[in-house]
């Protein structure tokens, strides 16, 4: 375990979970599931089973440093990397990978978002350990793929190619293609084919493998973070160096810039009860429902002829719903959202409109 490191990406704003998730308190720092632990705390708890506490790296925005310190008191401040700008996942992973490399050039890294739900943690840990062993021994970029159980348009997909023979009873394949979020018709074709898996956004690779990948597919970013930054990490000059590097690097995802172009990409396909819980609809799918197929959070919610909906209001506030079918109803900080579940992808646009009309106070 001493060579296993975990990078938790925790810089997003979770706008699709508005109005509960806002830029001042995004969803990774909320206990949306009512478990007593926030998403980032559950992620940390989960990965402690495969990684020593001192081998964690949390990458987040400057604005969320205090939230990370408050919610993850077991890690030190030096384990928190602060991004000055949001530049998507490629710069985030480049920064974290180089920090890990400066500490342990023999490291194998698991990279994971901070806000996913894993229902079967025993299976998850088994699959992770298998993936870590594979990545440590091969020049491989490995991602975890999830068997789709519906034609989801909110996830990316991975098409599998040749199966890799292995001693463990795991489904490990070469990757044929990555596909961004499809429309509904294409998603149905993907699911029916049996060749496509959801892209979980969880990655495993050695420091050496990801360094080579950046050098080949993102040479400018490689030079900034890997070459120029080699002597900066862990020094007083690191913050200045990172601020300059982020201001100069492109805004791009690791999937688009590296994974879709590399020829050493593999996928470990496993079902461990995964959900990115990226939307209210995804939360609805995971939560227990009443006799009318509603998911209700709040101790004073009254429903009449309403079904297939998710209702989230604070305890003590009375909410009365009549005649709703398939809706999202959320009240938070005197903001009320009523939206069809089928139209929840519009929430990001709604948030942008409110920001333009009312400023950042409400978003």
CA distances from 72 to 40, 62, 189, 233 (A): 8, 16, 42, 22
**225 and 175: one domain?**
yes
**242 and 289: one domain?**
no
Structure tokens at 267: 């996928």
The pLDDT tens digits for 83-115 are 999 999 999 999 999 999 999 999 999 999 999
Residue that finishes a domain, picked among 275, 305, 333: 275
* Per-residue model confidence (pLDDT) at position 234: 82
DSSP symbols for 96-110 = HHHHHHHH-TT-EEE
The pLDDT tens digits for 112-153 are 999 999 999 999 999 999 999 999 999 999 999 999 988 988
Distance CA 329, CA 148 (A): 27
Residue that finishes a domain, picked among 252, 275, 298: 275
**71 and 190: one domain?**
yes
DSSP symbols for 192-214 = HHT-EEEEEEEEEEEHHHHHHHH
Q: From first to last of its 363 residues, what are the pLDDT tens digits of the chain? A: 789 999 999 998 888 899 999 999 999 999 988 889 999 999 999 999 999 999 999 999 999 999 999 999 999 999 999 999 999 999 999 999 999 999 999 999 999 999 999 999 999 999 999 999 999 999 999 999 999 988 988 889 999 999 987 656 579 999 999 988 888 999 999 999 999 999 999 999 999 999 999 999 999 999 888 778 778 888 888 988 999 999 999 999 999 999 999 999 999 999 999 988 888 988 998 889 999 999 999 999 999 999 999 999 999 999 999 999 999 999 998 899 999 999 998 998 999 999 999 888 899
Question: Is the bond preceding residue 108 a cis peptide, omega within 30 degrees?
Answer: no
Say how many domains are in the chain: 2
Contacts of 64 (CB under 8 A, 6+ apart): 10, 11, 26, 29
363: in domain: no
The dihedrals phi and psi of 270, each to the nearest 5 degrees, come to -160, 150
**239 and 292: one domain?**
no
80: in domain: yes
DSSP symbols for 301-342 = EEEES-BS-EEE--TT--EEEES-BSEEEEEETTEEEEEEGG
Residue 19 domain boundaries: 4-275
Model confidence, pTM: 0.93
**109 and 255: one domain?**
yes
């Amino acid at each position: 375990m001493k060579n296993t490191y975990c990078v938790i990406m925790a810089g997003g704003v979770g706008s699709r979970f508005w109005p509960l998730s806002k830029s001042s308190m995004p969803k990774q720092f909320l206990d949306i599931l009512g478990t007593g632990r926030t998403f980032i705390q559950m992620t940390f708890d989960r990965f402690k089973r495969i990684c020593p506490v001192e081998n964690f790296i949390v990458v987040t925005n400057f604005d969320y440093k205090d939230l990370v310190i408050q919610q993850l008191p077991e890690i030190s401040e030096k384990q928190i990397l602060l991004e000055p700008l949001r530049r998507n996942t490629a710069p985030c992973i480049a920064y974290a990978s180089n920090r890990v490399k400066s500490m342990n050039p023999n490291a194998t890294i698991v990279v994971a978002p901070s806000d996913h739900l894993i229902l079967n943690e025993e299976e998850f840990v088994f699959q992770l350990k298998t993936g870590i062993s594979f990545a440590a021994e091969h020049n491989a970029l490995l991602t975890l793929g999830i068997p789709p159980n519906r034609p989801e348009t909110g996830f990316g997909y991975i098409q599998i190619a040749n199966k890799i023979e292995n001693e463990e009873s795991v489904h490990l394949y070469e990757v044929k293609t990555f596909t961004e979020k499809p429309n509904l018709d294409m998603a149905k074709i993907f699911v029916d084919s049996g060749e496509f898996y959801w892209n979980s956004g969880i990655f495993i690779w050695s420091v050496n493998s990801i360094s080579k990948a950046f050098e080949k597919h993102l040479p400018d970013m490689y030079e900034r973070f890997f070459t120029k930054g080699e002597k900066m990490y862990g020094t007083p000059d690191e913050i200045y160096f990172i601020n300059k590097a982020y201001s100069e690097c492109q805004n791009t995802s690791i999937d688009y810039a590296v994974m879709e172009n590399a020829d050493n990409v593999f996928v470990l396909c496993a079902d461990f009860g995964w959900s990115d819980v990226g939307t209210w609809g995804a939360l609805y799918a995971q939560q227990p429902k009443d006799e009318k197929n509603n998911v209700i959070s709040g101790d004073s919610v009254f429903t009449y002829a309403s079904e297939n909906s998710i209702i989230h209001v604070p305890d003590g506030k009375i909410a009365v719903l009549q005649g709703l079918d398939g809706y999202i109803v959320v009240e938070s900080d005197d903001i009320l959202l009523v939206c069809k579940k089928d139209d929840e992808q519009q929430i990001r646009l709604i948030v942008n409109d409110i920001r333009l009309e009312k400023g950042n106070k409400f978003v």
